Amino acid sequence: MSKICFIVGHGKSKSGGYDPGATSGTAQEFKIAKEIAKYAQQYYNATYQEQADLINYDGSLYLTDRINKVNASGYDFVAEIHLNAGGGTGTECYYSSGNNKGNQYATAITDNIASVFGIKNRGAKVKLNSSGKDYFAIIRETDPTGVLIETVFIDTASDLDKVNTAVGQKRCGEAIAKAVAAARGAETKPEALSSPSHTKQEIPAKNFRVKITCDKLNIRADAGTDNKIVGTVSKSEVFTIVETKKVGSVEWGRLKSGAGWISLKAPYSKRI
């Protein structure tokens, strides 16, 4: 059974009609979001050993239906995909107040989308209602850790241009999938590692294992302490390193799981 799912926002209105979500000219939020979600699921399932489901691609589920489906399916993570509106620019992602894991997912997702498209990173955010509870029902009323992704602004031309084609939708979906996998520490399929899309630099001829020798070590989005922290590892845990980089005098290693990079410097870790 899949542990995660990508959800398409909008599609069906409360009255049973069609809800396009936000619109701009002929562009409709639902129609763009469904393709981004599709590409996210396709990339995730082709690349990682863990599999993801896709909910509401056909637009047949109203918000309460989506919530009920999630809660009946035993997921531990869900991401609902939207486009923003209101004349701004950039990408942002909402998570549940006080949920540190949700913050990690949301941060990784906005970092990836912003990097892929070269747009403003509005970051991981919390939004509360007048009762002090999470504003978005897909976060508030579902059992698993959930995030709501506002990929770009549909009513800002420079943002919309990024996702208004199949190529852009695919790039956005893959950015989301990679971020989710990194936050989860998802293992890459062996056949994906050997595919032409993985370069020799990404897969060196010889991997090696390291053991964590400090109480807690940060995982970084890339090699170097200037990069964002995307997770942690603990003392005595063992990991496979598939790529190394030197930043100054310090060697860094990329985790086989795809979660990110750790320092290979003593006393933080050692080869075994």
For each of the chain's 272 residues, which pLDDT tens digit applies? 579 999 999 999 999 999 999 999 999 999 999 999 999 999 999 999 999 999 999 999 999 999 999 999 999 999 999 999 999 999 999 999 999 999 999 999 999 999 889 999 999 999 999 999 999 999 999 999 999 999 999 999 999 999 999 999 999 999 999 999 999 999 998 877 665 544 333 434 368 889 999 999 999 988 899 888 988 889 998 888 988 888 888 899 988 877 889 999 999 999 98
Run of H or E including 77: strand 77-84
Length of the chain: 272
Burial of 3 (C-beta count, 10 Å sphere; 0-12/13-18/19+)? middle
Burial of 119 (C-beta count, 10 Å sphere; 0-12/13-18/19+)? buried
The pLDDT of residue 34 = 98
| 267 preceded by a cis bond (ω within 30 of 0) | yes
Q: Which domains does the chain have, with CATH numbers?
A: 4-184 (3.40.630.40), 208-271 (2.30.30.40)
What is the DSSP-derived secondary structure letter of residue 48?
B
The pLDDT of residue 63 = 98
Kindly list the distances between the CA atom of residue 39 and the CA atoms of 49, 122, 131, 201, 262, in Å, as whole numbers in the listed order.
17, 23, 36, 25, 29
- How far apart are the C-alpha atoms of 48 and 177, rounded to whole Å? 10
Burial of 260 (C-beta count, 10 Å sphere; 0-12/13-18/19+)? buried
Strand, coil or helix: 143: coil
- How far apart are the C-alpha atoms of 259 and 182, rounded to whole Å? 4
**CB-based contact 160:28 (threshold 8 Å):** no
Handedness of CA 38, 186, 267, 209 (dihedral sign): negative
- How far apart are the C-alpha atoms of 79 and 206, rounded to whole Å? 35
- How far apart are the C-alpha atoms of 82 and 33, rounded to whole Å? 6
Structure tokens at 212: 């964590």
The pLDDT of residue 206 = 61
Task: Classify strands 4-8 and 52-55 as parallel, antiparallel or unpaired.
Answer: parallel
Please tell me the pTM assigned to this model. 0.73
